[in-house]
Amino acid sequence: MHVHVLGSAAGGGFPQWNCNCPLCAGVRTGRIRATARTQSSLAVSDDGGRWALINASPDIRAQIDGFPRLNPGTPARASAIAAVVLMDSQIDHTTGLLSLREGRELAVHCTEQVRQDLTTGFPVLSMLGHYTTVTVHPIPIDGDAAFTVAGLPHLRFTAIPLTSKAPPYSPHRHDPHRGDNIGLRIVDTRSGARLFYAPGLGAFDDTVRAEVATADCVLLDGTCWHDDDMARAGVGGKLARAMGHLPQAGPGGMLAELAAYPRPRKILIHINNTNPILDEDSRERRELAEAGIEVAFDGQEMSL
Ligand code: MLT
Ligand code: MN
Ligand code: ZN
């Protein structure tokens, strides 16, 4: 299985267009050791020929440009993108669909809850139907039902419903439904290699723990270090947990949870621009390194 990190930041990216917090200002001016990041998305493939995009970020155009394997070069209009698989209906994970309207067809895999959001509150799927042929493939969320993506015959995908948050525009924001947010188990049926991807993860439950325990590599929610990162950075009062993101620090946080699982390679993704781990010289980044946890970066590649 080939995995390419197209984007590793949370909504807004790093630096964020209107943000002058110490991290955004620091990366802009080069005052801190940090790397700019686009909004979170992965490309996965079984043979490196055809790829599934996991989420379609607002930065998709630059992300495709920066990863030439997504463009086969011939015929005159062509793409190596076989489909887009959505984890939720958040703006930072779906707005990129609008930039795929020039294709002849667009295959989108999503849960029924996400399909509802994307045909009502943010009707991007309905709009795209006027530009291209959109095929929506329902993602099963009951039991252990797996699905496949046409063009990637050796990968088997399984949705893991998560405790997280639907987007602010969704009628489910304060009325959670199973399928509002999922994580994804991806297994290569040739090698048995197993990836678990969950860029929005509000809480660990037994299902999530079982995924982490059995995966070879996990790419997990790295949005915030403390619940109140944003207040600490002086950019507002939104709390990580209220937005459906489990903070890394403290009792019951991501680090405490991950400490129980020696097996998988552990990588944080969907990093908010206020998270101190973005500063490579920070105490928090050192703490992660000591715990054997990596921070995803744009362009990162993995072979599983
Ligand atoms: C989130 O992950 O909580 C959202 O992407 C936030 C946002 O849309 O800005
Ligand atoms: Mn997000
Ligand atoms: Zn910032």
Segment 114-133, tens digit of pLDDT: 999 999 999 999 999 999 99
Dist. CA 196 → ligand 1 center (Å): 20
Q: Is the Cβ atom of 10 under 6 angstroms away from ligand 1?
A: yes
Dist. CA 165 → ligand 2 center (Å): 10
Q: Is the Cβ atom of 200 under 6 angstroms away from ligand 1?
A: yes
What span, in angstroms and rounded, lies between the C-alpha atoms of 104 and 179? 28
What span, in angstroms and rounded, lies between the C-alpha atoms of 189 and 220? 22
Taking Cα atoms as reference points, which of 184, 177, 192, 246 lies closest to residue 211? 184
Q: Is the Cβ atom of 216 under 6 angstroms away from ligand 1?
A: no
Taking Cα atoms as reference points, which of 48, 137, 126, 63 lies closest to residue 93? 63
What residue owns the CA closest to ligand 1's atom 3? 243
Dist. CA 270 → ligand 1 center (Å): 10
What span, in angstroms and rounded, lies between the C-alpha atoms of 107 and 136? 6
Taking Cα atoms as reference points, which of 205, 206, 183, 207 lies closest to residue 195? 183
CA of 223, closest atom in ligand 1: 2
Q: Which ligand is nearest to the CA of 10?
A: 2
Mutate to test the pocket of ligand 1, among 122, 238, 243 (most ligand atoms within 8 A of CB): 243
Q: What is the pLDDT along the chain (304 residues), one digit of tens a residue?
A: 999 999 999 999 999 999 999 999 999 999 999 999 999 999 999 999 999 999 999 999 999 999 999 999 999 999 999 999 999 999 999 999 999 999 999 999 999 999 999 999 999 999 999 999 999 999 999 888 999 999 999 999 999 999 999 999 999 999 999 999 999 999 999 999 999 999 999 999 999 999 999 999 999 999 999 999 999 999 999 999 999 999 999 999 999 999 999 999 999 999 999 999 999 999 999 999 999 999 999 999 999 9
Which residues are within 5 Å of ligand 3 (an ion), measured at CB?
Answer: 19, 21, 24, 273
Q: Which ligand is nearest to the CA of 164?
A: 1
Q: Is the Cβ atom of 243 under 6 angstroms away from ligand 1?
A: yes
What span, in angstroms and rounded, lies between the C-alpha atoms of 149 and 151? 6
Over residues 128-154, the pLDDT tens digits come to 999 999 999 999 998 889 999 999 999
Q: Is the Cβ atom of 91 under 6 angstroms away from ligand 1?
A: yes
Which residue shows structure tokens 């009792």? 251
Query: What does the block give as tokens for 123?
Result: 């009707």
Q: Is the Cβ atom of 92 under 6 angstroms away from ligand 1?
A: yes
Dist. CA 270 → ligand 2 center (Å): 7
Q: Which ligand is nearest to the CA of 12?
A: 1
CA of 244, closest atom in ligand 1: 3
Which percentage of the chain shows pLDDT scores above 70? 100
Torsion sign (Cα): 94, 98, 101, 103: negative
Query: What does the block give as tokens for 1?
Result: 């299985």
Q: Is the Cβ atom of 59 under 6 angstroms away from ligand 1?
A: no
Mutate to test the pocket of ligand 1, among 91, 227, 268 (most ligand atoms within 8 A of CB): 91
